[in-house]
Amino acid sequence: MSTISIILRKAPYGSVDAPEAIRHALGGINDDMSVNLVFIGSGVNASRRNQGISGTNYLSVEDGIRDCIDMGVVVFAETKSLDEAQISDIDLIEGVLRAGFDKIGEVLKTSGTVMIF
């Protein structure tokens, strides 16, 4: 089984990057690939549960991330970025794993393909 890692480094709203990263993750898992979804930088904001999007024209990415986790995508959020965004473990979507750059590096090293959004 081939492995793909998808990195989201941009905030979840204001561009198509987060929905596209999620769409590719779901597509990979549907194609029987091993998939990692990695949030770094502003991308960690996608891993925050109970995202307040009322009054906006955006759909929440939280449901898509939950679908990814339910289908077997391994989802990581980088520790330093989480700390900078003031996102604690209790604020994370259930199933999102906190990981340092060393762990993320290991994950990326074992991936056949890496996509960056």
Of the two residues 28 and 59, the one the predictor is more confident about is 28
pLDDT tens, position by position, 33-79: 999 999 999 999 999 998 876 666 777 899 999 999 999 999 999 99
> What phi and psi values does residue 19 have, to the nearest 5 degrees?
-60, -35
| pTM exceeding the 0.85 threshold for the entire prediction | yes
What is the rounded CA–CA span in Å between residue 35 and residue 5?
A: 6
Of the two residues 56 and 18, the one the predictor is more confident about is 18
Alpha helices in the chain (DSSP H): 17-30, 62-71, 79-84, 101-109
CATH code of the domain occupying 3-116: 3.40.1260.10
Domain boundaries along the sequence of the chain = 3-116
**Pairing relation of β-strands 34-39 and 74-78?**
parallel
What is the rounded CA–CA span in Å between residue 96 and residue 35?
A: 14
